[in-house]
Amino acid sequence: MSTPDEEACRSTGTPDPARRSALRLTIGYLYPSVLSQYGDWGNVLCLEQRCRWRGIAAEVLPLEVDTPIDPSAVDLFFMGGGADSQQRLIARDLVVVKGDAIRTAIEAGSVALLICAGYQMWGRLYRPFRGDDLAGLGVFDAETIHWAAEEQTKITDITSAGRGRMVGNMVVEWEGRRLVGFENHGGRTYLGAGARPLGRVVMGAGNNGKDRTEGAIYRHAYGTYLHGPVLPKNPALADHLIGLALQRRYGEVALAPLDDGLEAQAQAVALHLRR
């Protein structure tokens, strides 16, 4: 009978149990000292732990401002949320210093999870409520416009700042499953023909509060407004990303199942609270 560790290493014509110790992933964490609002760092911890439980080594590589990227070295990129001011701090570096390498990596099969500001900055542009547009990576065929810029209204105080924000719990239909989390964003994201949505909004606003779409997918890059962090309460999404990242390096690898009882309870409670 196979052990869970052996099952974790089974693949189609690729690694066998004898190569278990060689299975490893590199997670490139973009701007950890600048973008990590709403506990988004927990997504990286979740990916690390779910790999560790399966005997897969996961190295987290901090990719701060001015840190170059080797596109062949990163299996999975992560970028978290932040305010407009924080997006301005990293915008030029993301596009000019890291842009070509990231786009090369994504086209070659690297995986990415982008949350809120990260999601916005991987689109074509972000238009804040004041100041110049911020050019994005263009990985997603998407544009984000702050609600106040879209409605051509001024923000004068905290009350007016919150009037058009999309804040609250969110439930999203994804691949026959339900993802739970919360959103808090002033930007409204509109997808072009080259991007498909991550899922359909069951509860909440999602991309723009109008078309019931949430997030975007291009190749193996996933953008979303789901905070929380999203992965601990949605282990199927976490394992989906891990599986894609392993596939890039090793071919098809069947992940050993984990006991996700607590995660299922957390999601059930979240779904109950969102009714």
For the annotated catalytic residues, the residue numbers are 116, 227
DSSP characters over the chain = ---HHHHHT-BSSS--GGGGGG-EEEEEEE-TTT--GGGTHHHHHHHHHHHHTTT-EEEEEEE-TT----TTT-SEEEE----HHHHHHHHHIIIIISHHHHHHHHHTT-EEEEETHHHHHTSSEEE-SSSPPEE---SSSEEEEEHHHHHT----SHHHHHTT-EEEEEEEEETTEEEEEEEEESEEEEE-TT-B-SEEEEES-TTTSSS-EE-EEETTEEEE--BS-HHHH-HHHHHHHHHHHHHHHHS-BPPPP---HHHHHHHHHHHHHT-
